[in-house]
Chain A
């Protein structure tokens, strides 16, 4: 990536520098296609997961779209009128409701995420794919949170037609992502102009970002998911031991190894997050709009948690998380339930890669 930043040509140019740039671009495309089990022609580089989702949602022009109720805002807001497929209390798509909605709306496209960003719940995409394809619709899967954390994030293994991925969730740079499409699937462009990316996405390539994405793929450690799962189990065991009235959202469903949604009875998440921050613990607000206000989670509301949807902390583990840090985080969060004013004066900050979010 540094190399690219030092001498950036435009991969769309025909001169020598442009050709060198194009080689970097096409190498990255081949690498990503190999990882996602598709043809390089099916890869469209974008500015991130949001744009890739938006591009995917336009894959069936003029036909209705169905989306999962717990999808990321970049899906829900892109198609605000799309009927939402309900989930059960475990966070998994309600298959009977899906069948009903497929019959009622006869959609051209269904969009369901693989790993939920707030709860880590993993959907049974293969099973969904059978239903969706039988109804004559395309299946788009937002796999932003799954890449590098779950095995089998490929079009073939999942049985889907479109797959969204993002670089920064696997340690790459922010501001770059990709949509992988089944070969031969026609994707109408959202951004028009120069005709880049096979006329699917106009605009000069973010070559440093794409090179960084490729490097992050090369550096992925296949043992990491297992390590994260061990840490997550340790974290959850300590939290539940220290917080008698807490629960893990989606605990009954298969979950990705790196996300825990901790629901605390009776304490609004926004104040908990502020208290953690004031106690010196690095905190980021997950479901925040651009003003920074913390909103009740639509994901937990969809899971039927009602008023508790505003009482959840989201904890994410990253590549640099260690057992010692997990223990410290668990202790600090358990401290939240002490009466006001008795919080430990200054807990040491959590290191990189671990955030507490709502």
Chain B
């Protein structure tokens, strides 16, 4: 890809100061490299968000993580200043605690959205402004497109990497100061840039789903903070018959099929989690599908006016599920119901339901409950 093209897309004055949020991974490293190459005054910042020892209650780990060292090595290679800002306390309060509390309350939380909303596009964006930066640059695979009237967010060109789902809560004020140079690239192109720029992280593996959860074992992080989420409870079918016991809500999500330890003639899926009785209800596929998702409210991205929502949208109720055709209904109280054309498995409280018109991200909301 032509770097001049990238420069034109970024909609920034030549040579402007930009802060690049550098995680130590390939994506944000390439962002820093491309912007430095294009002549911007790049300042790299790595957010110190957690250490695995604290997150899991295990002692003896140091805050100097591998990722911070990688980010520093990339910055050194590019000859740009690099700093580490300490957001540990805010991250614990605003992201990790809420993540654990969500599971304890029978929800399936998405910490990445909260982190973007509150930490990256909140505190870090503010710090970038303090440092005189014209924009904060991140390695998200999303496209920020300007029309005459407004700024829109679109899916990343690489559909396998598209991260627009996690950005549904971005405000217009934030969007005005954010840039995503990787939105038009595929992951393979990003790695090729990393090679070309000689970045020491070019071969680095993809990061984990949830950055502060080591080895994908989120249940142990949750139960360390919320011991009640590790208490067992009954597993019942949709007629109320007790089929077995689970080992705690920390490991359970709506739509889950495996790992319940229940023997049944058919495949059974989790349909309901009651945090008070800790009872988990399962049902065969035919009765586990839900028609609609009720959202707390509808957050609209890029000044998508209320009346402007198309009659039919594409709705994604889980990051790993493809978007499905749906209609959006709103009542007087402002409550929003997303009605899917085909009933869906795994519409879970705490997940986001995100709406698209083609590649354009319209907005979304937090799922309060599913309805049959």
Contact = CB atoms under 8 A, between A and B. Distances in A.
Contacts of A103: none
Contacts of B244: none
Contacts, number: 52
Q: Which of B62, B68, B130 has the most CB of A within 10 A?
A: B130
A278 B43 contact: yes
Contact of A292 (B43, B84, B131): B84
A15 interface: no
B132 A292 contact: no
B83 A275 contact: no
Contact of A291 (B84, B130, B131, B132): B84
A293 B81 contact: no
A275 B130 contact: yes
SS class, residues of chain B in contact with chain A:
mixed
Interface of B: 43, 48, 62-65, 68, 72, 81, 83-86, 127, 129-132
A290 B64 contact: yes
Given A270-B86, A275-B130, A278-B131, A292 B68 contact: yes
Interface residues of A, number: 16
Contact of A340 (B63, B64, B85, B132): B132
B129 A292 contact: no
A278 B130 contact: no
A343 B132 CA distance: 8
SS class, residues of chain A in contact with chain B:
loop
A129 B131 CA distance: 48
A271 interface: yes
Contacts of A62: none
Interface in A149-163: none
A340 B65 CA distance: 31
Contacts of A278: 43, 81, 131-132
A294 interface: yes
A274 interface: yes
A322 interface: no
A14 interface: no
Interface in A270-295: 270-271, 274-275, 277-278, 289-295
A184 interface: no
Contacts of B127: 271
A290 B63 contact: yes
Given A277-B81, A292-B83, A341 B132 contact: yes
A274 B83 contact: yes
A204 B229 CA distance: 55
